[in-house]
Structure 1
Amino acid sequence: MTTRPARTQLGSTGPATSALGLGCMGMSALYGPADETESIATVHAALDAGVTLLDTGDFYGMGHNELLIHDALRSRNREDVQISVKFGAQRGPDESWLGYDASPAATKTALAYTLRRLRTDYIDVYRPARLDPNVPIEETVGAIADLVKAGYVRHIGLSEVGAATLRRAAAVHPISDLQIEYSLISRGLEAEVLPTARELGIGITAYGVLSRGLISGHWSNDRAVDKADFRGFSPRFQGDNLAHNLSLVEALRAIAEAKGASVAQVAIAWVSSRGADIVPLVGARRRDRLTEALGALDVTLSQADLDAIEAAIPAGAAAGERYSAAQMAHLDSEH
């Protein structure tokens, strides 16, 4: 039987939660069509397995993901689940991306709609999806702090911000956690952001731990990509970049097979091994992928294993940026 995830706390001030979370974005957006019935069954399976942290964004499927989570939680006790919500991304009716708005009025309006879609009285962790270049982070955090005082939000998180922004935000209100991409091939936070978060007592919720399936062990050079799947445009999934990155996966596969584990399980276990303050989010859309991800809890990496992984995939080994140039420009964490 697969081990149940341990209980942990998001940072020094955040909620108690499971040490592994479920990222729900792919159930509604960006990875092509998903089966809604299977998605809900996957959420139920995660909860039954002891995963209590559900991560979403109000712009995932233009509200669809929040509605889906509401449907999945109909028969569950709200107090047993921690819901983390990102806001601020602006979308057009044609699903185009229009920028970010994390002004105080937009922040409070977004939360009002989120509470209605989720049919809940509060959000456990509320966070801007990106730093709004037109709004000082102090104003955004101050607006969420108002919502905390009013009881609509329990904790404040951030997403993809740099060390300086973390410090400015934490000076206004305690920050529970920083959501940021972290995987064997996305390690940019290690130099400055992670040490600063630890200094401030801010936890890390790590998304993209399998680099959107690229290092899952299931991706192939000839895989067809749906036109609605953003991986069809992602630099790391293109041409020579893809071939190079898949060669890294094969090096990791040899290590995984020697341990009797899958590539995905070793990749997830590696992120977990980086510290007790790091909670990986797995983006499973199906129960079989969830089962595989949960198997990472049974994988213990020795120092020899970690050394072998580092030799196979050293920091900076990936070919291509993690987003397009336009999207990278929105990442305060990369500046």
Structure 2
Amino acid sequence: MSSKTARLGGTASNVIVGKIGHGLMMMTWRNPPVSDEEAFASLKAGMDDLPPGTKMFLNSGEFYGINPPSANLELLARFFERNPSYADKAFLSILGCSEAALERKVNFILAKLRGTKRLDLIEPARIIHGVSIEQSTRIMAKFIAQSKFDHIGLSEVRADHGHPVSAVEIEVSPWSYTQETKDVISTCEELGIAVIAYSPLGHGFLAGKWRSYNDLENTDITPADNMLRQFSRFQRDNFNHNLALASALNAIATKKGITAAQLCIAWVSSLGPNVVPIPGSSYVARTLENCASGNIELTAEDLEEISNAMSVYTVRGTRY
């Protein structure tokens, strides 16, 4: 059982979540989506692995689906409808509201959930064009007063945009750890805000999902894999260059007797007591493997090896 926990911030400072959360995008960002049976078993496994009184941070999105875009929300509604006892075991965060019409978007999300689970937190998807953070958080606060949801988060923001919110979601992994990332983590820790770290495995690259560029070309293409081909780091020359970092991390993990995925998740988790990695998983075995990462202790020697690998095998290409 996972034992490490983290505390959220702001108005959710009384909420204790497991140190490893669960990103849900890939359950439905594929065609066909994962079956309800497999997805539900994965969700249950993660929440059943937590200590009593602890919630699992579940990260969904308004648009995390192919057909329809709201497929992830609808999957969650079916899950909580059939498993109502799990509603209190989950802290549900929805990424969305990417347009200025915030109220319409919030109401859309609530309608898709059908009252099966209280919406705990909403994050505007990055900075809303033409709307300042101050404006959007004031609008969100009105929705909280109307009891539409309980807490506010932010996504993809810089450290100098610190606000009394409950969580800030940013990408963090051994190949996505810039000075700006460090500043956000440091500032959030000072302000008592949780950092929700998405893509801790570099979209699967650092976990060894692909061993060569040909693997990416020949794989049974999912929409997400196809999308990755457009990313700079996944272009052929950059891909081949970046394999060196993935190989180095895998060697460190093998020596420690864990998987490369667990090494990356444990490393992200080690960046602060307020940092909650949210690796994606659609199947029970992988969910439990991810959750077990929260109990892995990285020694000073481990951390130095990882840091050296990141310094020697620098990443080529931008994130998007």
The two structures have a TM-score, normalised by structure 2, of 0.88
Kept in 1, the 8 Å contact 2:195–2:276? The answer is: yes
Q: Write out per-residue CA displacement over residues 225-266 of structure 1, whole angstroms, 9 at most, x where no aligned residue.
A: 526231121221221211121111111111111111111010
Which of 92, 100, 107 in structure 2 is aligned with 1:83?
Answer: 92
Q: Which moved more, 1:15-24 or 1:304-313?
A: 15-24
- The answer for unaligned runs of 5 or more in structure 1 is 90-100, 324-335
Partner of residue 142, structure 1: 138
Which of 99, 103, 108 in structure 2 is aligned with 1:108?
Answer: 103
State the one-letter code of the partner of 1:311.
N
**Distance in 1 between the 2:252 and 2:222 partners?**
34
The two structures have a TM-score, normalised by structure 1, of 0.84
Structure 1 segments, 4+ long, off by >3 Å, are 31-34
Q: Give the 5 Å matches for 1:218-297.
A: 218-221=209-212, 222-223=214-215, 224-225=218-219, 226=221, 228-229=223-224, 230-297=227-294
When residues 236 and 251 of structure 1 are mapped into structure 2, their CA distance, relative to the original with a 3 A threshold, is: same
Partner secondary structure for residue 127 of structure 1? strand
**Distance in 1 between the 2:123 and 2:33 partners?**
25
When residues 253 and 274 of structure 1 are mapped into structure 2, their CA distance, relative to the original with a 3 A threshold, is: same
When residues 32 and 236 of structure 1 are mapped into structure 2, their CA distance, relative to the original with a 3 A threshold, is: farther
Q: Write out per-residue CA displacement over residues 189-231 of structure 1, whole angstroms, 9 at most, x where no aligned residue.
A: 3343222222322210000100110101232212235262311
**Distance in 2 between the 1:79 and 1:119 partners?**
16
**Distance in 1 between the 2:159 and 2:300 partners?**
29
Q: Write out per-residue CA displacement over residues 25-76 of structure 1, whole angstroms, 9 at most, x where no aligned residue.
A: 11111x5643223222211222222262110111111111001011122213
Kept in 2, the 8 Å contact 1:129–1:159? The answer is: yes
State the one-letter code of the partner of 2:287.
L
Q: Give the 5 Å matches for 1:178-193.
A: 178-188=168-178, 189-193=180-184
**Distance in 2 between the 1:244 and 1:25 partners?**
28
Partner of residue 155, structure 2: 159
Partner of residue 64, structure 2: 60
**Distance in 2 between the 1:152 and 1:217 partners?**
41
Give the CA RMSD over aligned residues: 1.9
**Distance in 2 between the 1:12 and 1:107 partners?**
21
**Distance in 2 between the 1:84 and 1:315 partners?**
36
**Distance in 2 between the 1:194 and 1:315 partners?**
23
Partner secondary structure for residue 84 of structure 2? coil
**Distance in 2 between the 1:262 and 1:287 partners?**
16
**Distance in 1 between the 2:258 and 2:209 partners?**
14
**Distance in 2 between the 1:191 and 1:298 partners?**
23
Kept in 2, the 8 Å contact 1:44–1:72? The answer is: no
State the one-letter code of the partner of 1:84.
S
Q: Write out per-residue CA displacement over residues 257-287 of structure 1, whole angstroms, 9 at most, x where no aligned residue.
A: 1111111010100001111100010101222
Q: Write out per-residue CA displacement over residues 56-106 of structure 1, whole angstroms, 9 at most, x where no aligned residue.
A: 1111111110010111222133222110001134xxxxxxxxxxx1x2xx2
State the one-letter code of the partner of 1:64.
A
Partner of residue 11, structure 1: 9
State the one-letter code of the partner of 2:112.
R
Partner secondary structure for residue 261 of structure 2? helix
**Distance in 2 between the 1:283 and 1:144 partners?**
27
Partner of residue 200, structure 1: 191
Residue 315 of structure 1 and its aligned partner are, at CA, apart by: 9.0
Q: Which moved more, 1:35-44 or 1:203-212?
A: 35-44
Q: Write out per-residue CA displacement over residues 308-332 of structure 1, whole angstroms, 9 at most, x where no aligned residue.
A: 1111123982111111xxxxxxxxx
Kept in 2, the 8 Å contact 1:187–1:316? The answer is: no
Kept in 1, the 8 Å contact 2:20–2:293? The answer is: no
Partner secondary structure for residue 112 of structure 2? helix
Matched, 1:209 2:209: no
Kept in 2, the 8 Å contact 1:185–1:315? The answer is: no
Matched residues, number: 300
